[in-house]
Chains A and B, each alone.
Chain A
Amino acid sequence: DVVLTQTPVSLLISLGGQASISCRSSQSLVHSNGNTYLHWYLQKPGQSPQLLIYQVSNRFSGIPDRFSGSGSGTDFTLKISRVEPEDLGVYYCLQRTHNPPTFGSGTKLEIK
């Protein structure tokens, strides 16, 4: 199975600051069709996960442009700029290029 290593485990960011989360894969996430199926989710406390970014860098419907994704191959990054109180929670990356789909272990974002 593909292993996704997320770092850091936790982040303490001031309101208005910037957060960066890394997701590294044990193998390339480029599908044979040329697409890269690496997604980012936020799970707010007591809620189900919500999709933020799909296929590396595409913001899902209704997601503000403070969230951005980048990367290729095996290294991916989620950046959150101008952090707001509602951004707190656990961020997960997911790959579904290879079966079975696998998640990173999560990064907890806390607000100072």
Chain B
Amino acid sequence: EVQLVESGGGLVQPGRSLKLSCAASGFTFSDYNMAWVRQAPKKGLEWVATISYDGSSTYYRDSVKGRFTISRDNAKSTLYLQMDSLRSEDTATYYCAVNWERWGQGVMVTVSS
């Protein structure tokens, strides 16, 4: 059974950093592209970043370019999202997704002073 478990969320002040993790199991992690998608409270879904199966290619939405870094450790079957210079508008539940098919349960990130 495919499982994706996000962690690392919490309350952080504007301008600070946070690193999210997504532990994957139940499939061959190194075979699949992975993505982060977020959802602000009571809002719709918004793609954040994608990484290719081998980590060689990464893509970001414009509003997070230069601030967020997506990465993966295929040996650990884990996806990461390093979030720097956080802003209030980054407040959201962050989901990891495999190949746009299966999603984790999400982790909440609140950026507030």
Q: How far is the CB of B62 from chain A (nearest CB, A)?
A: 8
What bracket does the count of chain A residues touching chain B fall in? 20 to 34
A-chain residues with CB within 8 Å of residue B100 when the two chains form the complex:
39, 51, 54, 94, 96, 101
Say yes or no for B11: interface residue by CB 8 A criterion.
no
> How long is the Cα–Cα vector from A106 to B59 in the complex, in angstroms?
24
Q: How far is the CB of A21 from chain B (nearest CB, A)?
A: 14
**Chain A: CB-nearest residue to B47:** A101
B-chain residues with CB within 8 Å of residue A104 when the two chains form the complex:
44
> Which listed residue, A39, A48, A54, A101, touches B105 by the CB 8 Å rule?
A48
> Which listed residue, A39, A101, A103, touches B44 by the CB 8 Å rule?
A103
25 A-B pairs, CB-CB below 8 angstroms? A39-B100, A41-B45, A47-B105, A48-B95, A48-B105, A48-B106, A49-B95, A51-B101, A54-B100, A60-B101, A92-B44, A92-B45, A94-B45, A94-B100, A99-B59, A100-B59, A100-B61, A100-B62, A101-B35, A101-B50, A103-B45, A103-B46, A103-B47, A105-B44, A106-B44
Q: A48-B104, A51-B100 are in contact. List 17 more A-B contacts (CB 8 A).
A: A39-B100, A47-B105, A48-B106, A49-B45, A49-B95, A49-B103, A51-B102, A60-B101, A92-B44, A101-B100, A102-B47, A103-B44, A103-B45, A103-B46, A103-B47, A104-B44, A106-B45
- Chain B residues proximal to chain A, CB less than 8 Å: 35, 44-47, 50, 59, 61-62, 95, 100-106
